Structure 1
Amino acid sequence: MNAVHCFAAIVLLVLTGVLPAEAKRKAASKPGRPTKVEIQAATRLQVFLDRANFTPGRIDGRYNDFTWKALALYRESRGEQQQVAPRQRNVQPDVKGLDLATVEPVFIPYTVTEADLQSVGNLPRQLAQQAKLKFLPYRDAADAIAEKFHSDIHFLEQLNPGKLKAIKAGDQVMVPNVEAFEVASVKDIQPGSETARQPVNEMEYQTETEAPKPGENAGAPRNVSIKIDTKTNMLGVFDAEKLIAAYPVTVGSQHTASPIGDWKVMRITKMPTFRYDKEMLQHGKRSGNFYLLPPGPRNPVGVMWIALNKKGIGIHGTENPDSIGRAASHGCVRLANWDVVRLATKIKPGDSVSIH
């Protein structure tokens, strides 16, 4: 068949309606328009990685950059060959060898409780007004539920169209099937110090590591370390030379770079108070114009502060999980709250931290 006859045949097929199904498949496969099946497949992989402690950051039902990075590090931890990430966005990686069947169902119904709403309240935008509060709460119930299930809030809205604007106790929403982050249980996380009232970024670092707590074996050898890659925005946790966990991070900018070098974990503080001093954050000079911001999930350093032996620098949570990997910090290393609490359970004062 020559080109003219071929073209005529295609025109005939279009006119007679033989091609609509194929056309629909092509339209559905356009970038930016994932199908429900594709969204579920991407979410399944993200939940799998999140459960394995190689987290993709916010779960959004897409094969985003951090999903690719988390998968590569997961395979590295198992001695498997990594797949090179493509330039195109939202491309499915090779998932051969992954036991994705363990993630079933991908989405689960969740009934909102009164306890979920206890950490929700009025959150002023002005720092001066925030400093007058005793607790910095979630902005609304949707904000709280999204963080509880490690989710992008817009993705949660897609899963629950029209439901998130006025959530109340007893309402049921669909959420990714991850281990829920409970802000109320942060105080029970071990190891770590008790809640500190003194601003964590103002404490003098300790020249020696904390003494073992009762019941801990002081002589037990530890070779746990943290390695932070400022180019890939990923933090890895190592036991000896074995990679055991990885989390997306935000690091400092060129102007306020995270301190390159080798450091030590000095303290782990839950529900920290933070001294917000714009002059200090931007230029490294302490001023008298500052605000003491109280604890809470929407404190600028989130729910956990892991102090390094460099005053004012720490690994910490965030008030804005959307910013992880997408914005620059003032020199610290920032994680999503659900990730920083998991990191805190794996490390202790004295462990090594390499920023490179």
Structure 2
Amino acid sequence: MATLLAIFVSCAAWAEETKSKEVTPRTQAGIEAATRLQVFLDRAEFAPGKIDGRYGEFTVKALQLFRQSHGEEMKQPEKPDGAPDVSGLDLASVEPLFTDYTVVEADLKGLGAVPESVPAQAKLKALSYETAAELIAEKFHMDVDFLGELNPGKTKDIKVGDKLRVVNVEPFDLGAVKDLKPGSELGANDIEDEGKGKDEPVTTKTAVKVDTKSNMLSVLEDGKLIAAYPVTIGSEQTESPVGDWKVRGVAKMPNFRYDKKMLSKGERSDQFHMLKPGPNNPVGVVWIALNKKGIGLHGTNSPDAIGRSASHGCVRLANWDVVRLAAKVKAGVPVAIH
């Protein structure tokens, strides 16, 4: 852990230092190089966050953790959004970098506006994607604006049969979430019930560690770092619970009980709204319950916000990342939040 801590401190110092430096102008070659690195890291499950063709903070953190997992060190880039050292990486394996995706009828089914007010949301049968561009961007782990950059003039009115240029990653399939095989499964309504789920001994050596300063979650197997994902942690008002916890189970496509008092003060009330499942549910498509009431690792309806302190005490990941995390854990797996 000393090495991990050193990496996180180094990243934090670099981010602070580079705030006042001039950002490197973007070129087509630079965009493709940054995208290639992001796709390489995403495939390795050292996730850089939403893929946007930039050498951002989480791309650098993911690269450092990837190198650390291979016993290597990395120097910080001299400029924000500047190219890091990629020597020794098999970036040639990311070929082709981009691929064409043909829009199918299923992509356009079930789309619908999501109102801002929670009472109005509670009246909906599902909290679905609002636009086809949002769906396709999430399917390919992309920033929706970057999808627009790659497809100028094509993302405002997407139709069946349209071909869109996307990055070459393993697609996130919303329909396949129901087929996810976590070690221990909870029902859609069980995410806040502390007593449910199995309290069984750990039969694997998997461990999850969340660093609240770096906003990175690491997965270890037999003490070896095998994956890392950027996260959003609790805000100053509702901080994530520092301590050592355990996974109780995994709920797929969960409902969310929106209780303002519970979210702000940690106290359950009888004034609440039940929000139906969907990618635009506040807890996303997967809830990994911890053995602390109302606290879990979960997805999000706002991948753009990953990395900011905005969650209500929980730990939030992009939907495509939380699904990958859920496949690695089961009841009893330790989760350290520090």
TM above 0.5: yes
TM-score by length of 2: 0.90
Match of 2:237 in 1: 255
- Say if 2:179 is the partner of 1:188: yes
Out of 228, 247, 270, the position equivalent to 2:252 is 270
Distance in 1 (alpha carbons) for counterparts of 2:186 and 2:169: 27
Q: Aligned pair in 2 of structure 1 residues 31, 207: CA closer, same or farther (>3 Å)? A: closer
Match of 1:209 in 2: 199
Match of 1:79 in 2: 71
Q: Aligned pair in 2 of structure 1 residues 193, 208: CA closer, same or farther (>3 Å)? A: closer
Out of 74, 83, 91, the position equivalent to 1:92 is 83
Deviations 1:64-116 (A, max 9, x none): 00000000000011111132354x32110000000000001111111011122
Q: Structure 1: where are the runs of 5+ without partners?
A: 1-29, 212-219
Partners of 1:228 and 1:236 within 8 A in 2: yes
Match of 1:26 in 2: none
Deviations 1:126-154 (A, max 9, x none): 21121112211001101101100101111
Q: CA deviation at 1:245?
A: 0.2
Out of 123, 139, 155, the position equivalent to 1:148 is 139
Match of 1:225 in 2: 207
Distance in 2 (alpha carbons) for counterparts of 1:264 and 1:114: 41
Q: CA deviation at 1:58?
A: 0.3
Distance in 2 (alpha carbons) for counterparts of 1:207 and 1:254: 30
**AA at the equivalent of 2:166:** V
Distance in 2 (alpha carbons) for counterparts of 1:131 and 1:163: 32
Match of 2:119 in 1: 128
Distance in 2 (alpha carbons) for counterparts of 1:35 and 1:293: 43
Q: CA deviation at 1:314?
A: 0.2
Out of 299, 310, 326, the position equivalent to 1:344 is 326
Q: CA RMSD in A?
A: 1.7
Q: Structure 2: where are the runs of 5+ without partners?
A: 1-21
Distance in 1 (alpha carbons) for counterparts of 2:80 and 2:337: 28
Percent of pairs identical after alignment?
59
User: Matched residue of 2:49: which SS?
Assistant: coil
Alignment of 1:5-154 (within 5 A): 31=23, 33-86=25-78, 88-154=79-145
- Say if 2:300 is the partner of 1:308: no
Distance in 1 (alpha carbons) for counterparts of 2:72 and 2:93: 20
Distance in 1 (alpha carbons) for counterparts of 2:206 and 2:58: 24
Larger Rg: 1
User: Matched residue of 2:159: which SS?
Assistant: coil
Q: How many residues align?
A: 317
Q: CA deviation at 1:285?
A: 2.3
Distance in 2 (alpha carbons) for counterparts of 1:210 and 1:296: 30
